[in-house]
Amino acid sequence: MKIDNLLLLNFGKFENKSIEFKDGINLVYGQNESGKSTIHSFIEGMLYGFFKPYVKVKSYNDKYEKYMPWNSEKYNGILIYEKEGNRYRVERNFMKRKEQVEVYDDITGENITYLYKYNSIIKQCEVASKDFNINSTVYNNTISISQLSNKTDKNLMKEVKDSLVNLGESKSDNISVKRVVDVLNKKIDEIGTQGRKKTSPYGKLVQNIEELLVEKQKAIGVSEEVREKQTIYNESVEILSQMYAYKRRLEEEKNNYELNNFKYKYEQIINIKEEINNLNVELKKIEKCRDYKVETIDEVITNIKLLDKLKDDKITIEDQISGFRKSMCDEGNSQINNINIQKDLIAFEALENRKNYSNKSNKEEFDELNGSKHKYLKKRNLGISMLIIITLVEICIKFLAGNSLGTNVFIGYLLVVIIFCLYIIICNSKYLKIKSNIKDLNKEDKLRRSELISINEEIEYILKKYNCYEKDQLYEIRTSNNYNDILIKERNNHIDSLNMQKEKMIENITKICAINTEAGVEYKAIDDLVKLKKNIFKLEKIVSEIDNKQIILKNILGEYSIEFIEEKIKHSNSKADQLAINSIEEINNNVEKVNDDIIALNKKISKQEQEVLNLERGTRGIAEITEEIEEKTIIKDKYETELAGINLSKNIIEKISKNIHKDFAPILNSKVLNAVKNISGENISDIKITENMEIRVAKKMDNIKTVESFSSGTIDQIYFALRMSINDIITKNSDLPIILDDCFTQYDDVRLKNILKFISNEYNNRQVIIFTCHNREREILNENIIDYNYICI
Amino acid sequence: MVTCIHVADVHIGMSFRKASFGNDFASKRRKEIKESFYNIIDRVRDKDFLFISGDLFEEENITIKELKEINYKFEQIPNTKILIISGNHDPIVDNKSNYRLINWADNVYIFDSNNKKYDFLEHNVSVYGISWNKKIIREELIDEVVIEDYNKINILLVHGDIYNKSDYLPISKDKLKAKGFDYVAMGHIHKHEFITERIAYCGSLEPLDFKETGEHGIIEGVVAKEFVDMKFMPMCKREFLQYKFKLTNEMMLDDIINEIVNVDTKENRSKNMYRIILEGVVDRDLYFDEYIIKDMVKADFAYIEFVDKTIRDYDLEKLLEENSDNIIGLYIKEMLNYNLEEEVNKIALYIGLEALINEKVK
């Protein structure tokens, strides 16, 4: 197969540029920037378009933009290639939205686009599908070779080796499974592992999540604690409100007490005020007496009394005087009477004396004697009885004892009898004596009595005379008579003095009246004055009482004013009642205590409150933490999925590669060996490909050497040979043209000659297109008489 | 008649797991939700009642400090009666449950197992409420509720599911209608809907993840015996919006960015939360993923996130065909045996392929 013509209608910097190729070697010469790469790319573009390969939706690669003509709206070209006698003309419009590819049979002109495989993604046929049968990637890596210029021999062989290795593992010469796996490993590293906590994102994330979980647990714990504390706080608050209630009750009690006190005070005050008012009223009534002084009034009263007394006295005296004068008339008579009475009185007294004397009597004596008489009578009688008794006894004894009793007894008895008889006789005589005495007395008594009777008669006579009943009256008469005498005497004196007094009195009266008038007191009744005086006293008393009450009032008020107290009690209607005196102390103590408790509890409560706040402040909200955990977990999951995917991919790739190696590598090796054998003109006895894809060649009579030890010429050849055979293995095609773009710039002349000769020999059945900016190729080809087609840009 | 606002499912303090917000925005969003709720408190100042039908906050996440804040706000509207039931996210389980830890203001009435009804004589209103005391309720607790006095305006607060027989207090629609409440303030479903004129879900106050697109807010109005006039009021600060973008492999990064930024007006972009699902085929050389793009556009959005469902353009069939006898082809063949829906396998395929092809194309 070969490419016949290129027609760059509007492509890059070319417009209607035509290039013709021939069989064999085509040398395209152009200086730098002359467009060699453009033409090179044109071929690719014509065959494949500038689409990105392996895409689901049409997209363009870089070359599209690169070769779009600036000055034209057209972007198109024609390529004609030939295979097995058929000429195919490919016409392509590159311009976006107008792109189109048509293939014509160049001989018949028939449109044979339908013969080409249609790609629904780029909506065109694939030009290379029919005859080239390789895609653009493969094209670029196989038959189109560029950028060899920098490579040394070593690099060349490395390239081959790599290709072989790659082929052996991936059946694609440029896919190095090792590199692929390295790339995947690198991706894995970038994500990291769980173990590499500090350096890998994944590890860090895992650790972060763990820390967050711990934080969340802590936060939940804190939340629990907060609830606990808040419950306790609420309880404390409840207790506090109870304390306040209790305090309020105490204060109420205290108020009540004070109120009560005030009420009490107030009542007292009212009372006192009333009293004071009353006193004042009374005071008003007797106000007037302020004008008077007690002393003056006393004086006046005294004076008035005196006056009255004097007046009375005066009257009395006057009465007396008149009385005296009157009685003095009576006196004449009475003087005479007086003498008579004296006489009678003496007689009377004498009579009385006699009477007394008579009366004086014997009564005592009489009684005495009587007493004695009886005494002795008694004694006598007693004796008699005794005598009788003894006699009887004696008789008895005698009777009983008979005659045994001696004479002694009889004598005794006789003595006793005698004694008793004597006794009796004595008593009897005395008795008789007394009796006679008594008789005498009686006789006396009789005499006396008669005397007495006569005395009494005489007394009666006297009394009758004066019209009295008893002696005393007589005396009285006498006394009064005496008295009258004296009186008369006195009277006369009196009258004199009385007169004198009377004079004086009249003097005094006048004086006093004068004084009284001077004192301004109208002559009033003493009662009035007394009343006045009383009033004055009363006034003073009232005043002092008022003062006292004021003092009491002041004491009751204490430090308060009445308005204050009124204000205090004005809302309460009830009356005061008595409270125990010491309850106020108790109440105050309790108030103090509850105040202390309240302070302590308040402190505790604010501490608790602060604790709760601090706890809450000390951690993040659970919501936040949870969210962060979720967020990070999602990323972690993503990482993990990615890691899993990458690992899976790695595993599969390695598995596949192993299989390839197992199946394909041997075939590859043999092919390679053949290719190398064919090249080397020198004798190669044996070729081995090591596991590292190193090619060891054994020359005849030499040791085994690696390929690299050969000359560069040989290496080149081997490289190309290998490369081509690889290409052929891949493309299964061995007649595709080879396009070499600026490959040999760095080659020295010898090497260049070498490779050119090789190429012309080896690939004499293929079209070879060489792009160069040197003339050397031309020269060498000329020198070596190698046919070529020269195209100059 | 009474004026009221019905709100529910505020979820103060919740953590945004499903919304994949990332820490900073999530914290910001939490703050916004709280502020949104405070706005409602201001709004209800001159109304008679505020009904909160459950899930006011997240039991595990809320702090004492925040509870005190909320209570303080409640205290600022002493003329409004605030009635609260607990939901499955803030159940009153025991004395350490958050509703019990705070001394609530006088105008706050919380329902629990001891308080199932509150009467307000001055408004002639009886409010019944069913509070949650555990995390799952399967019983139809509605059955136990009985209206005592039909002459009063009877209102029920309940947090449950009227659509499904689920684990979250299932409610039978017919039974509920038959009870004869003048208004039923429901909670738990985050999308607002009037089941009947007198039975309604007000929905969550602010949308909480990308499933909750559309408007969110409160229901407010008047409830009387003769009529009821309750309307939905959109109140939320931000909405969730979800878009699908189809990318082509012709697009460069700039093209993609432009498309994304033009999805909405600048005003909306600064307000709402966007999720963009990227589909289609992307040039395999274009290096980007969800995070890179997010990074590049985040300045233009209040919040944006991406889901990458794009396919790198590898024409697998073609590749297989052209490389049928080398490792690339063999690799593809092998990988096709795996279930490529699984992320691991997908990654393995593309990473391996990328590595192999990059080798080849060198």
pLDDT digits (tens, 9 = 90+) for A245-276: 998 888 888 877 777 777 777 888 888 888 88
pLDDT at B109 over 90: yes
Contacts of A171 in chain B (CB under 8 A): 325-327, 330
Tokens 């930024």 identify what position?
B261
The single-letter code of the amino acid at A208 is N
DSSP state of B289: -
The mean pLDDT value for B2-29 works out to 85
Say how many residues make up chain A.
Answer: 793
Q: Which of residues 586-625 of A touch B (CB under 8 A)?
A: 612-613, 616, 621-624
Provide the angle, in degrees to the nearest 10, between the axes of the packed helices A177-191 and B343-361: 130
DSSP state of B143: G
| Two tokens, residue A614 | 């601090």
The mean pLDDT value for A715-728 works out to 69
Report the percent of chain A where pLDDT is more than 70.
77
Output the pLDDT for position A339.
Answer: 65
Contacts of A357 (CB under 8 A, 6+ apart): none
Of A59, A175, A612, the CB nearest to B327: A175
In Å, the largest CA–CA distance within chain A is: 247
Contact check, Cβ <8 Å, A137/B103: no
Contact check, Cβ <8 Å, B281/A628: no
d(CA B214, CA B190): 11
The mean pLDDT value for A751-767 works out to 80
d(CA B21, CA A631): 8
pLDDT at A25 over 60: yes
Using one digit for the tens of pLDDT, what is the confidence trace for A393-402? 877 877 776 6
Q: Which of A277-291, B87-101, B305-319 has the highest mean pLDDT?
A: B87-101
Contacts of B358 in chain A (CB under 8 A): 183
Q: Roughly how many angstroms between the first and final C-alpha of chain A, as a whole number?
A: 24
Long-range pairs for A461-470: beta carbons < 8 A, 24 or more residues apart: A462/A344, A462/A347, A462/A348, A462/A351, A465/A344, A466/A341, A466/A344
DSSP state of A24: S
Report the percent of chain B where pLDDT is more than 90.
45
pLDDT tier, A514 (very low <50, low <70, confident <90, very high otherwise): confident
Say how many residues make up chain B.
Answer: 362
Using one digit for the tens of pLDDT, what is the confidence trace for A296-326? 767 766 766 766 776 677 677 677 667 766 7
- Smallest CA-to-CA distance from A730 within B360, B332, B335 is with B360
Chain A: residue whose CA lies nearest to B29: A624
Which residue has better confidence, B70 or B273? Answer: B70
The mean pLDDT value for A451-478 works out to 77
pLDDT at B290 over 90: no
Q: Which of residues 345-374 of A touch B (CB under 8 A)?
A: none
Which CA distances in Å does B47 have to A1, A318, A348, A621, B122?
A: 94, 118, 139, 34, 14
- Smallest CA-to-CA distance from B15 within B46, B80, B59 is with B59
CA-based nearest distance A211→chain B, Å: 16
pLDDT at B52 over 90: yes
User: What is the average pLDDT value for chain A, to the nearest integer?
Assistant: 78
| Two tokens, residue A235 | 């309880």
Of B60, B334, B351, the CB nearest to A646: B351
Contacts of B101 in chain A (CB under 8 A): 227, 230-231, 234
Contacts of A196 (CB under 8 A, 6+ apart): A202, A203
pLDDT at A38 over 50: yes
User: Cβ distance A588 to A581 under 8 Å?
Assistant: no
Output the pLDDT for position A697.
Answer: 67
Contacts of A45 (CB under 8 A, 6+ apart): A11, A63, A67, A77, A92, A94
* DSSP alpha helix (H) spans, B138-285: 173-179, 253-261, 266-269
Q: Which of residues 646-665 of A touch B (CB under 8 A)?
A: 646, 648-650, 652-653, 655-657, 659-660
CA-based nearest distance A753→chain B, Å: 30
The H or E element containing residue A240 is helix A201-285
pLDDT tier, B251 (very low <50, low <70, confident <90, very high otherwise): confident
Q: Roughly how many angstroms between the first and final C-alpha of chain B, as a whole number?
A: 82
Of B102, B319, B355, the CB nearest to A184: B355
d(CA A762, CA A724): 10
pLDDT at B195 over 50: yes
Express the helix, strand and coil content of chain A in percent, nearest 5 each: 70, 10, 20
Beta bridge partners of B157: B129, B185
Which residue has better confidence, A304 or A168? Answer: A168
- The three-state secondary structure class of A100 is strand
Contact check, Cβ <8 Å, A653/B313: no
- Smallest CA-to-CA distance from A455 within A567, A534, A566, A360 is with A360
Contact check, Cβ <8 Å, A626/B345: no
Using one digit for the tens of pLDDT, what is the confidence trace for A135-159? 776 677 667 776 554 556 666 666 6
A119 in contact with B, Cβ within 8 Å: yes
- Smallest CA-to-CA distance from B98 within B64, B138, B148 is with B64
Q: For testing the chain B interface, which of A59, A188, A241, A658 should be mutated: the one with the most B CBs within 10 Å? A: A59
Compute chain B's Rg from CA coordinates: 27
Bin B221: left if φ > 0, else alpha if -120 < ψ < 50, else beta: left
Q: ipTM, 2 decimals? A: 0.81
User: Cβ distance B179 to B147 under 8 Å?
Assistant: yes
CA angle A563, A564, A566 (to 5 degrees): 60
Cα atoms found within 13 Å of the Cα of residue B334, Cβ hemisphere only: 23
| Two tokens, residue A508 | 């005094």
Of B281, B283, B327, the CB nearest to A660: B327
Give this prediction's pTM.
0.58
pLDDT at B153 over 60: yes
pLDDT at A329 over 70: no
Q: Cα-flanking dihedrals φ and ψ of residue A142, to 5°? A: -120, -80
Contact check, Cβ <8 Å, B347/A175: no
Contact check, Cβ <8 Å, A172/B327: yes
Contact check, Cβ <8 Å, A187/B284: no
- Smallest CA-to-CA distance from A240 within A601, A763, A515 is with A601
Contact check, Cβ <8 Å, B63/A621: yes
pLDDT tier, A572 (very low <50, low <70, confident <90, very high otherwise): low
CA angle B96, B102, B103 (to 5 degrees): 130
d(CA A637, CA A288): 120
Contact check, Cβ <8 Å, A626/B250: no
Contacts of A150 (CB under 8 A, 6+ apart): A746
Listed in order, strand segments (DSSP E) in A14-65 are 14-20, 25-29
Output the pLDDT for position A580.
Answer: 46
Contact check, Cβ <8 Å, B64/A641: no
| Two tokens, residue A662 | 């197992």
The H or E element containing residue A788 is strand A788-792
Give the least confident one: A207-216, A391-400, B1-10. A391-400
CA-based nearest distance B149→chain A, Å: 36
User: What is the average pLDDT value for chain B, to the nearest integer?
Assistant: 88
- Smallest CA-to-CA distance from A386 within A431, A430, A432, A423 is with A423
* DSSP alpha helix (H) spans, B149-282: 173-179, 253-261, 266-269
- Smallest CA-to-CA distance from B256 within B282, B274, B285 is with B282
pLDDT at B7 over 70: yes
Tokens 């293929």 identify what position?
A766
CB pairs under 8 A between A and B: 182
The H or E element containing residue A660 is helix A622-663
Output the pLDDT for position B96.
Answer: 86
The H or E element containing residue B276 is strand B273-282
d(CA A536, CA A525): 17
Contacts of A177 in chain B (CB under 8 A): 327
The mean pLDDT value for A80-105 works out to 89
CA-based nearest distance B327→chain A, Å: 5
What's the gap between Cα B304 and its chain centre?
A: 16
Contact check, Cβ <8 Å, B328/A135: no
Beta bridge partners of A79: A6, A90
DSSP state of B93: -
User: Cβ distance A172 to B327 under 8 Å?
Assistant: yes
Contacts of B17 in chain A (CB under 8 A): 626-627, 630
Q: Compute the CA torsion angle A673, A676, A681, A686 (nearest 10 deg).
A: -30
10 Å CB burial of residue A430 (0-12, 13-18, 19+) is middle
Using one digit for the tens of pLDDT, what is the confidence trace for A366-421? 777 777 878 888 888 887 888 888 888 877 877 776 666 566 777 777 888 888 88
Contacts of B316 in chain A (CB under 8 A): 56
Report the percent of chain B where pLDDT is more than 70.
98
Of B101, B314, B326, the CB nearest to A231: B101
d(CA A743, CA A736): 18
Contacts of A786 (CB under 8 A, 6+ apart): A25, A756, A757, A760
pLDDT at A581 over 50: no
Give the least confident one: A497-511, A590-604, B155-169. A497-511
Using one digit for the tens of pLDDT, what is the confidence trace for B304-341? 888 888 777 777 777 787 777 778 888 888 888 888 77
The mean pLDDT value for B274-285 works out to 81
Of B103, B326, B346, the CB nearest to A172: B326
Which residue has better confidence, A404 or A646? Answer: A646
Of A175, A613, A656, the CB nearest to B360: A175
pLDDT tier, B130 (very low <50, low <70, confident <90, very high otherwise): very high
Q: For testing the chain A interface, which of B90, B99, B344 should be mutated: the one with the most A CBs within 10 Å? A: B344
d(CA A601, CA B129): 37
10 Å CB burial of residue B121 (0-12, 13-18, 19+) is exposed
Tokens 């600026």 identify what position?
A742
Of A57, A622, A652, the CB nearest to B331: A652
- B301 CB neighbour count, 10 Å cutoff: 22
What's the gap between Cα A649 and its chain centre?
A: 64
Q: Which of residues 206-225 of A touch B (CB under 8 A)?
A: 220, 223
Using one digit for the tens of pLDDT, what is the confidence trace for B253-274? 888 888 888 888 888 888 888 8
The mean pLDDT value for A188-196 works out to 77
| Two tokens, residue A745 | 């710039």
Mode of pairing for the β-strands spanning B49-53 and B2-7: parallel
Give the least confident one: A274-278, B272-276, B288-292. B288-292
